[in-house]
Structure 1
Amino acid sequence: DAGEFRKFLLDNIRRYHQSIGQGIITEFHKDSYEDYYWFSRVGEGSLGGKARGLAFLNHLIQKHSLSEKYDGLHVSIPRTIVLTTDWFDKFILENGLQYVIDAELSDDEILSEFVASTLPDDLTQNLKAFLATVDCPLAVRSSSKLEDSNYQPFAGVYATYMCPPVENKDRMLRELGKAIKSVYASTYFKGSRNYIQASGNLLGEEKMAVIVQTICGTEHGSDFYPMMSGVGRSLNSYPVGAEKASDGVLNVAFGLGKTVVDGGRTLRVDPLYPKKIIQLSNPKLAQRDTQNEMYVLDLSPSAFKISKNDGINLRRVPVSQALERYDRPELVASTYNALDDRMVPGIGVRGARVVSFDGIFQYDRFPLAKALSEIMSICRDELMSEVEIEFAVDPVKSSSGNEANLKLLQVRPVSSGIGSQTSSIEDAESIISNKLILSDNALGNGYFTESSLILVILPESFDRMKTELMAAEISAINSRMTADGQTYILVGPGRWGSSIPTLGVPVSWTDISAARMVVEYGIDGFRIDPSQGTHFFQNITSLGVGYLSVDQYAGSGMIDFDALRKLECVFEGEFAKVLKVDGLTGFIDRNKGKALIGF
């Protein structure tokens, strides 16, 4: 009928407009901006590293005709505008904020100064024109000149804020302005300063562009989140069993991506063999080692407040609770049937829920693993480097779960960790007679000899309910060592840098900036796989910090705790000890992924 024909014409016109907007960077003009421009720049300055990566992805989607290549998947980047670095310079100058570069101010004081300042009026008018085309939540992300370079990714160092949609556009404009100024302020936070110093750059040279983009996801009551968020790496640094390093690896989670990049429990998938997921190999393992909490965006406007914590309006909710309200649970979860001792797809029966994404990886509702594997391969070939990508997936509302939008959020080059070296693990074993730590899963290269100190949390001092107190103690020790010009080897249980305190000690990179090697070990009942998708992991490995994983209970590696206890203790806190070792030496054989620490 006429109505259907009209809808057909409008859909095709819109599809045409979207196709001509792909693959290009358009100049933003407030009087002519349309919502089918995928990527627009506001200003004449630099896009910054992260935005360049997004523009690159947008170009690849068009160049390789990826948008509709895979049945049931619509591939694109989120609709994005980039406020180039010249707005940052103008904001700093017009508000007289140059003094912040050298001032001894706390992060909260810096944030207060920036938020109280005023954005340039012409920038505000551009933002107002953009908001007129938006009715969904927005992510406000950093894109500094130094971000996502080959050797200094600055992953997670600067802030990202999420703004819920507000019916009153003037109010939303104010909230968006606060978020942009907060991202600007994060350039000068303590963690950023420390990272810039450690990477050999100067704070005065850093410039900040800002990405404003729509968030992939759907509204569920007062919450907003995508079906899946994830990180993919073209090189699997820790292949298990029949996996190959060249297969790559995906770490995916239900809900927002904070679960993945901050070291929460994720599903680990080999993109070439997505039906063979080790965590799902038996029901007991599936219940123990899969995701049980997720992050969602709180849509109530009052939840968004100015804070150094950029996750101020994100809530952590139990997966089981969210699944009861989710409209496509068969894509996300399986249920443990105790009577048959097996996993059943969906949540149609009573039992423990397990985030398995069986509907996608086992039953091929759409070819997500294949698409991501090919996209990573394309990026690797184009960049001539191993890569890491961030992505989100959400079902198309009108498709009954048979189609989904795949949004590519970021790409960055990463070190392969494979190459020439002059010594082997056998050479190191012949030199180091007293072996304290052996690892079969390590990243890094060569000898580490500058440290004579080991900062360790021993198994008897570990309490999974007090990991936040441990993080504070580690941070205080690190500050003293940094002030004294000392470095150390860090050793502790679980996952360093996890945002979920029960999985490990929730330090940030700033809290361990003087560490030269980082060792994670498993203890009975507390075994955590190395997480390759976290910002923490990306930063420490890119800065040349050795990364070792030891799990004696799984027969992987060794730590001689008795020998550690006999070493000279120069400081003892409530949880951590600092041990002094003359001739302390670490070695990582990056071609074999093995490491040794001793003296």
Structure 2
Amino acid sequence: FASIFFQEPKSMMDNIIQRHEEEKMAVIIMELIGQQNEQRFYPTFSGVAQSYNYYPVSYMKREEGIAFVALGLGRTIVDGGKSLRFSPKYPNILPQYYSIRSTTQNSQHEFFALDLNNGESPLTGGESENLKSYLLNDAESDGVLKHLASVVSSNDNVIRDSLKYDGTRVLTFASILKFKRIPLAEIINRLLDLGTIALGCPVEIEFAVNLSDNKDIPDEFCLLQIKPMVIGGMQTTDLLTEESPEDILCKSDLVLGDGINQQIQHIIYVDPDSFDRSKTREIAEEIEVLNKKLGKDNPYMLIGPGRWGSSDPWLGVPVNWRQIANAKVIVEVGMDKLNPDPSFGSHFFQNVTSLQIGYFTISKRDHEKNVDWNWLANFTEKEQTTHLRLLELKHPLFVRIDGSKGEGLILKPKPPKQEQMDEELSSGI
């Protein structure tokens, strides 16, 4: 209850007209949801659900919501760790698990639990002091993992929804989402609908679930918190038409993400005039080299034909995430003989969503009018490879994405406006 006297809240309050000693704060003490296993305490799984989904795929709609679930305490989700993402309207569509390899890479590998054997002063270092990370082996020995995991069989490399097989354990939540041990998706949908009606706005909920091995003890769903969801949409009705056409580098009405980015001063793009579908593997290698040269401190915009990350090199450039890890905006463009259905980044969907990458899709029909190829071609490149051009801009691009509509545009760089003194407001000094 004395936290308002710590330095962090005091620094924040320096910007408001209020004395520290006059500040009042409520204290809520909640029971931790979970079950004791050995010297650790944790729920079977925890989750977060939101009314709005900024990264819909397939036939999902943004207003149908999104949920994240993870074994153990919810800190895994809050800290941005690996969790399972699904739409409660379509719980069987799991884009981050599009292949066996992606399933093993994107599955949760560790979980958080309350350490019941951590000394006499468990709160000395805050919550990080009494929460401990454990491996899936610990959850399996506790008898908890069997409720949530499947196995990538070492015999035939097929996912089996039982831990009786030898192989890699992966968190698929098959017993919940596929076999419906509890109606999780229905519960989430109902709570999101009720919360939206009650609060009058999109909401976010946090929950925890205990699954029981005892037939006399029912499974338990616990609603921990419900609050208004912060929506960072552009709040503009004509996002794609209010700007002058000559100022627009790229625009699309098929965009994933939300918000504004003004930090990108590099562009890597595949030259459409010299693009050769038979050279996509070479293009991927060239991108990897440029990505490494730019590094983490130089985020860039990546533009290219077809599907990024496609396993079929004839449908697009078969990059993996490591090769494009510093891209902050990705544009996939349909071109002649290369106009597959939008991928929406499904080949590295976990990274696109967790890192909040802006993902633009432009159809073959619109690519000439929705991308200013002439501006790109006339810009002097910093570096050119066999198939790519790297541009370095003096001023950043202006990226705007309205996540509520799935619309986005990228404005060409402009020098910052000089602030001019208003003579009417001048003191005359």
Give the TM-score normalised by the residue count of structure 2.
Answer: 0.64
- Determine helix, strand or coil for the equivalent of 2:129: coil
**Is 1:528 the equivalent of 2:360?**
no
The alpha carbon displacement at 1:232 in A equals 0.3
Contact 1:455 1:490 in 2 (8 A): yes
Matched letter for residue 441 of structure 1: L
Matched letter for residue 596 of structure 1: I
- Determine helix, strand or coil for the equivalent of 1:334: strand
- Quick one: distance in 2 between partners of 1:528 and 1:564? 31
Deviation digits for residues 161-220 of structure 1, max 9, x if unmatched? xxxxxxxxxxxxxxxxxxxxxxx3366343x4666679x786847533222221111111
**Is 1:242 the equivalent of 2:59?**
yes
**Is 1:270 the equivalent of 2:102?**
no
- Quick one: distance in 2 between partners of 1:317 and 1:297? 10
- Determine helix, strand or coil for the equivalent of 1:279: helix
Partner of 1:213 in structure 2? 30
The alpha carbon displacement at 1:409 in A equals 1.1
The 5-angstrom pairing of residues 28-427 of structure 1 reads 88=1, 184-185=2-3, 188-190=6-8, 192=9, 204=20, 206-302=23-119, 304-307=121-124, 309-319=126-136, 321-396=137-212, 398-399=214-215, 403-416=218-231, 421-425=236-240, 427=242
Matched letter for residue 187 of structure 2: A
Cα 1:269–1:582 shift into 2, 3 Å: closer
Matched letter for residue 549 of structure 1: G
- Quick one: distance in 2 between partners of 1:564 and 1:266? 43
The alpha carbon displacement at 1:529 in A equals 3.5
1:460 to 292, 307, 316: 292
2:258 to 414, 433, 443: 443
Partner of 1:592 in structure 2? 406
Give the TM-score normalised by the residue count of structure 1.
Answer: 0.47
- Quick one: distance in 2 between partners of 1:462 and 1:527? 22
Deviation digits for residues 347-381 of structure 1, max 9, x if unmatched? 11100000011111111111111111101111111
Contact 1:287 1:352 in 2 (8 A): yes
- Quick one: distance in 2 between partners of 1:398 and 1:383? 37
Deviation digits for residues 273-319 of structure 1, max 9, x if unmatched? 22332334432221121111211211114175455553122222222
- Determine helix, strand or coil for the equivalent of 2:351: coil
The alpha carbon displacement at 1:265 in A equals 0.7
Cα 1:439–1:461 shift into 2, 3 Å: farther
Deviation digits for residues 501-546 of structure 1, max 9, x if unmatched? xx99xxxxxxxxxxxxx94779x98961314xxxxx9xxxxxxxxx
Contact 1:437 1:596 in 2 (8 A): no
Cα 1:461–1:317 shift into 2, 3 Å: farther
Identity %: 25
- Determine helix, strand or coil for the equivalent of 1:587: strand
Matched letter for residue 263 of structure 1: G
Contact 1:293 1:318 in 2 (8 A): yes
Cα 1:396–1:197 shift into 2, 3 Å: farther
- Quick one: distance in 1 between partners of 2:7 and 2:52? 32
- Quick one: distance in 2 between partners of 1:323 and 1:315? 13
- Quick one: distance in 2 between partners of 1:302 and 1:417? 43
- Quick one: distance in 2 between partners of 1:186 and 1:461? 45
- Quick one: distance in 2 between partners of 1:405 and 1:197? 44
Contact 1:223 1:298 in 2 (8 A): yes
Matched letter for residue 188 of structure 1: F
- Determine helix, strand or coil for the equivalent of 1:211: coil
Contact 1:303 1:312 in 2 (8 A): no
Cα 1:436–1:303 shift into 2, 3 Å: farther
The alpha carbon displacement at 1:341 in A equals 3.1
Between 1:276-285 and 1:430-439, the stretch displaced more is: 430-439
Cα 1:269–1:430 shift into 2, 3 Å: same
Cα 1:278–1:586 shift into 2, 3 Å: closer
Cα 1:203–1:377 shift into 2, 3 Å: farther
Contact 2:399 2:408 in 1 (8 A): no
- Quick one: distance in 2 between partners of 1:440 and 1:455? 20
- Determine helix, strand or coil for the equivalent of 1:260: helix
- Quick one: distance in 2 between partners of 1:375 and 1:564? 54
Cα 1:519–1:312 shift into 2, 3 Å: farther
The alpha carbon displacement at 1:386 in A equals 0.4
Matched letter for residue 223 of structure 1: R
Contact 1:417 1:443 in 2 (8 A): yes
Runs of 5+ consecutive residues of structure 2 not aligned to the other structure = 268-289, 303-320, 331-344, 362-369, 384-391, 414-429
Contact 1:193 1:203 in 2 (8 A): no
The alpha carbon displacement at 1:587 in A equals 2.9
Deviation digits for residues 23-47 of structure 1, max 9, x if unmatched? xxxxxxxxxxxxxxxxxxxxxxxxx
Partner of 2:386 in structure 1? none
Partner of 1:497 in structure 2? none
